[in-house]
Amino acid sequence: MPIDPHAPDLVAVLPLDPFAPRSARYHVAAVDSPSPDLRDAVVLLTSEIVTRAVEQGNGAQDSTVELRVWMPSDVVRVELIAPPRLLRGRSGLDPRHYDLMLLDCIADRWSVDHRPERACFWFEIDRHPTAPRWEQEAHGGDTRSGDEARVRHHVGSAR
């Protein structure tokens, strides 16, 4: 199922203040009903990219950012739209930063897209369909949901 760019499951405009990451976590946690592990991963990564924008804003509390979230059955996509000065491009990002290490370990894809008037920091996490738990147990398979198994795999592995 492709993502419809015109119909996100969540659109929230957040003031760029110290409370923006908390507000973003609250809004994202209320979208859809993914597995607890997937929800935690999406909330964590969303908080990290919003925190990055707040830190790069250097106290410019007159700015706002737009948070957009899609949660169709095959992929979760989160976008943070902000003025370009708040979202530096990937080439200028130090991979030793904690937030970028988390994105590399947890997200399946992420990037920063720049346009003159705005930038978009986005990430995606694939949602893998799974067989019913009783069917997996009958065949000796992993009893965790696809989301749980995938998130645990990425967190425990180095890329």
- Ordered domains of the chain (ranges, CATH): 10-156 (3.30.565.10)
Q: What is the pLDDT of residue 10?
A: 94
Query: Over 70: is that where the pLDDT of 129 sits?
Result: no
Q: What is the pLDDT of residue 33?
A: 78
Taking the CA atoms of residue 155, residue 44, residue 148 and residue 78 in that order, the dihedral angle to the nearest 10 degrees is: -110
Mean pLDDT of 31-41: 87
Mean pLDDT of 65-77: 93
Residue carrying the six token digits 């920091």: 121
Cβ-proximal residues to 8 (8 Å cutoff; 6+ apart), any chain: 68, 69, 70
| pTM across the whole model | 0.73
Query: Over 80: is that where the pLDDT of 63 sits?
Result: yes
Query: Over 90: is that where the pLDDT of 34 sits?
Result: no
Q: What is the pLDDT of residue 143?
A: 46
At 83-113, the pLDDT tens digits run: 888 876 444 455 567 778 888 899 999 999 9
